[in-house]
A and B are shown apart, each in its own frame.
Chain A
Amino acid sequence: EDTGDDDNYEFGKGDFTEHACRYCGVSNPACVVRCNVPSCRKWFCNSRGNTSGSHIVNHLVRAKHKEVCLHKDSPLGETILECYNCGCRNVFLLGFISAKTESVVVLLCREPCLSVNALKDMNWDLSQWCPLIDDRCFLQWLVKIPSEQEQLRARQISAQQINKVEELWKTNPDASFEDLEKPGVDDEPQSVALKYEDAYQYQNVFAPLIKLEADYDKMMKESQSKDNLTIRWDIGLNKKRVAYFVFPKEDNELRLVPGDELRLRYSGDAAHPSWQSVGHVIKLTAQEEVALELRASQGVPVDVNHGFSVDFVWKSTSFDRMQGAMKTFAVDETSVSGYIYHHLLGHEVEVQMVRNALPRRFGAPGLPELNASQVFAVKSVLQRPISLIQGPPGTGKTVTSAALVYHMAKQGQGQVLVCAPSNVAVDQLAEKISATGLKVVRLCAKSREAVSSPVEHLTLHYQVRHLDTSDKSELHKLQQLKDEQGELSSSDEKKYKALKRATEREISQSADVICCTCVGAGDPRLANFRFRQVLIDESTQATEPECLIPLVLGAKQVVLVGDHCQLGPVIMCKKAARAGLAQSLFERLVLLGVKPIRLQVQYRMHPCLSEFPSNSFYEGTLQNGVTVNERQSTGIDFPWPVPNRPMFFYVQMGQEEISASGTSYLNRTEAANVEKIVTTFLKSGVVPSQIGVITPYEGQRAYIVNYMSRNGALRQQLYKEIEVASVDSFQGREKDYIILSCVRSNEHQGIGFLNDPRRLNVALTRARYGIVILGNPKVLSKQPLWNGLLTHYKEHECLVEGPLNNLKQSMVQFQKPKKIYN
């Protein structure tokens, strides 16, 4: 079975070189020696770090080992140090003597050779014997001390840690420092910190958290087998077999995405043998149908439609790449510049400016004119090695990023790498950057090559297939043959792969900009690429190790774009989330004192809708780039309580219920009223694609979808086309009209998901023309932020109740908000 190239890739290419100091990682051959005790044979350097003796001397003393060997690339070559006279190898006894008249020196042991009288009669001067180990260090001219830079990039190890690891080596010679700090199975993992001594400590903290998340993800996905599925068979344009089926989604968190790998099984019957094949999800239809492109084209039981089972095939690729990036960050000095290295770890670094000529204009061809705050952002970022751009909702961060990338690419520092955690964001950015005239390559995961993309013409696999030069005809011929026959002879397959790889490299190398997801930056096809300039969009939605993947390809200038006032990365494992894995690198850098450059003009929301978010989340700095007139819904007859103020809070007193699965909530009254509002919108001339229904609970989401399709007053199809989704999946997107169903309505319990101010911010900032919020003010007002929101609506006479065609101001009493203790 062809598993694709990905699996042959060795992760963590930045492995320790064999001769790296086992304490600190320094690997300069002139600075290290090997302990020559056969059971040990570890390498150590001649730097002291924070301890009183050099690492090699520390090891020899504590392990009571006494022989060493120099590195083959050191000035003396591979040499076991020994007495020139008697061959004694105990380094604690050795020292150099020189000849009386010549510049010749030899090693001589002090016991007994130094006291041999006959030597004195020869040409040697014994009076000046100088010990090999001097001042708790090897003689520096023989084994060099690593430079200050080298030492700063090394693991900072204390005497206590040395003692501990030496103790561990007595029973387990292969133990590493990670083993020292490994928490027990039931221990809470170590929490993330603000600053780290070195990249090893960083790795010690994050590696276990990524492992926890990976384990949880695996467990959850692999438990998702579904039986008794009904299949609809089809054939794709590429002649591959495609299976369509409905993957029943329960209230759990699993959401299939294009590119996921599934195994489809049929247990067999009288007429069919048992069968199975894996495939990739290439599409999810609006009807929640999954399209699975199968790898096997032969033996598929296409005359059967019922009784299939499907399992999730879990892949560790993304987690492996995060672990690999952390390792590279630690052991490979060229992974990022010294400045970036120390900055990311929170060390105090003297401010550095990037010396580059600034362009005369900061906009870019093919893009809209930049506003003042966008120009300021571009200008500042171009001059700094690390910058943060905060883009509140609708402030044009994609355009700003694209303009920035344009200018970076024009600086002649090599190719620019542009990433984001999600494919959607990468596609958007790739499209905008391409509009400036730059040559863009969009690198997709192999598993997503069949997934349709709005920027298909920019993807590497498309460009490989459509490269129009005569010398590529051989590749095209083979490709055609492969498409027609489904497979190639093994020699042709070899030729095909080599040609394809060479073409891929050629196309990638000629691009100005490479765009891929953060995880995609760890693709083996980029293994030999170096990128000095890296921009990461949506960086506040990525975990730190995820962000690190694009950075360790040689970054010297880093731009993180995002908004830490909107939702962060989704962490499934509670333990890992509690330990801080959900905090993005952007956020930590903010806490470290890096001031984000904020884009200040929003072009999305009706000015009425931006007022509360601006005051509550952005200190009132958000300005409106759209006027009331530009956001007037002309011709739409909707009963807004205050004309020209397209918003209201619709008071709901219906009870919340626990959903059938027992893990989520729903609220029937709210669902019924959502349908009424949707219907009113549709009747007034709004089309389904303009409407978004947002609710924080999967139970309510499923209930609303179901309710509308059964009870909707208009054609069923209209309701099916309306997107009903969680707050989280609406992040980064917009709709003309938003209906928000809050669900929670109880006297005693909390309001759960709604408590997160960042989630509220996202929910309130998706609408361009109008918003309707359904909720129970009595319950919500206990929370200070919601209390503020309710007060805001009330003050503007937009807190209403009653039937939709006769809305009246509500007199409902709010509760006193609980104080927040911070």
Chain B
Amino acid sequence: EDEVHVRQKVAEVDPLEEADFDQELKAVVQESMEQRRQELRGRPTLNMMIPMNVFEGSAKDHHAKGIGGESGDEALDEETGVNKEVQVKVLVKRGNKQQTKQMYIPSDSSLVQSTKQKEAAELQE
């Protein structure tokens, strides 16, 4: 209802500022990596327990439930009818407990692309 059209100068980012910031960001990442390497001399243990029900239930979930309701778990782009987003389960730990939360990820993100390719490949087998 409250639609406004503000004619504002397009926010232009100063390329110098951008280069500076990029450099600083890279430095923080680099520094973090080195710090980690020094902290963890030994081999990290594997602690990737995943509750089995996440996998078990997911195939059904994948098609039946969805936050969006009737339209299922994949939001369709209104214009093209192509899937814009796909639903994933994000697995997080709360202390020692695992929890999953459903979220939508844009279907063109690399994370989704790879899963799709794999799924397709496996279906063909």
> Which A residues are closer than 8 A to B by beta carbons?
48-53, 57-58, 60-62, 64, 66, 75-77, 79, 82, 84-88, 90, 92-93, 96-107, 109-113, 116, 118-119, 122-125, 127-128, 130, 133, 136, 139-142, 149, 152, 159, 337-339, 341-342, 347-350, 352, 556
Contacts and interface: CB of A to CB of B under 8 A. Distances in A.
Contacts of B119: 101
A801 B24 CA distance: 83
B88 A159 contact: no
Interface string B89-113: 1111110000011011110011111
5 contacts: A84-B48, A102-B54, A105-B91, A128-B111, A130-B110
Contacts of B88: 98, 103-105
B92 to A, nearest CB: 6
A50 B17 CA distance: 11
Nearest to A347: B6
Interface of B: 2-8, 11-14, 17-18, 21-22, 24-25, 28-29, 32-33, 36-37, 40, 43-48, 50, 54-55, 58-59, 62, 85-94, 100-101, 103-106, 109-115, 118-119, 122
A50 B11 contact: yes
B46 A85 contact: yes
B22 A350 contact: no
Nearest to B19: A52
A98 B114 contact: yes
A75 B90 CA distance: 10
Contact of A76 (B17, B90, B114): B90
Contacts of B112: 98
A90 B29 CA distance: 9
Given A86-B47, A127-B114, A107 B106 contact: no
Interface of B is mostly: mixed
Contacts of A53: 21, 25
Given A52-B18, A349-B6, A350-B7, A105 B90 contact: yes
Which of B37, B44, B54 has most A Cβ within 10 Å? B44
Contact of B22 (A93, A118, A136): A136
A90 B105 contact: no
Contact of A141 (B8, B18, B103): B103
B105 to A, nearest CB: 5
Contacts of A99: 55, 115
Nearest to B57: A102
Contacts of B50: 104, 123
Contacts of A61: 21, 24-25, 28
Contacts of B54: 102, 104
A49 B10 CA distance: 10
B11 A104 contact: no
B111 A96 contact: yes
A19 B101 CA distance: 22
A341 B2 CA distance: 11
Contacts of A51: 13, 17, 21
A93 B21 contact: no
A531 B124 CA distance: 63
Contacts of A66: 28, 32
Contact of A348 (B8, B101, B111): B8
B90 A339 contact: no
A341 B4 CA distance: 10
Contacts of A52: 13, 17-18, 21-22
Contact of A125 (B5, B86, B114): B114
Contacts of A128: 110-111, 113-114
Ordered nearest first, which 3 A-B pairs have the shortest CB separation? A338-B4, A52-B18, A128-B114
Which of A90, A102, A152, A348 is the most central at the interface, judged by chain B CB atoms within 10 Å of its CB?
A102
A349 B58 CA distance: 49
Contacts of A82: 93
B23 to A, nearest CB: 10
A51 B25 CA distance: 14
A362 to B, nearest CB: 27
Contacts of B113: 128
Contacts of A101: 115, 118-119, 122
Nearest to B46: A118
B4 A149 contact: yes
Given A103-B86, A119-B48, A349 B93 contact: no
A52 to B, nearest CB: 4
A86 B39 CA distance: 13
A75 B102 CA distance: 8
A123 to B, nearest CB: 8
Nearest to B91: A106
Contacts of B93: 82, 84, 87
A502 B47 CA distance: 61
B118 A100 contact: yes
B21 to A, nearest CB: 5
Contacts of B7: 347-350
Contacts of B6: 152, 342, 347-350
A555 to B, nearest CB: 12
Nearest to A81: B92
Contact of B36 (A79, A93, A159): A93
A60 B14 CA distance: 20
B8 A90 contact: no
Contacts of A93: 29, 32-33, 36
A349 B2 contact: no
A127 B118 CA distance: 12
Of the candidates A62, A106, A142, A341, the one having the most CB atoms from chain B within 10 angstroms of its own CB is A106
A31 to B, nearest CB: 15
A103 B62 CA distance: 8
Contacts of B85: 141
A448 B60 CA distance: 70
Contacts of A159: 14, 17, 21
B108 to A, nearest CB: 11
Contacts of A140: 106
B58 A103 contact: yes
Contacts of B109: 130, 139, 141
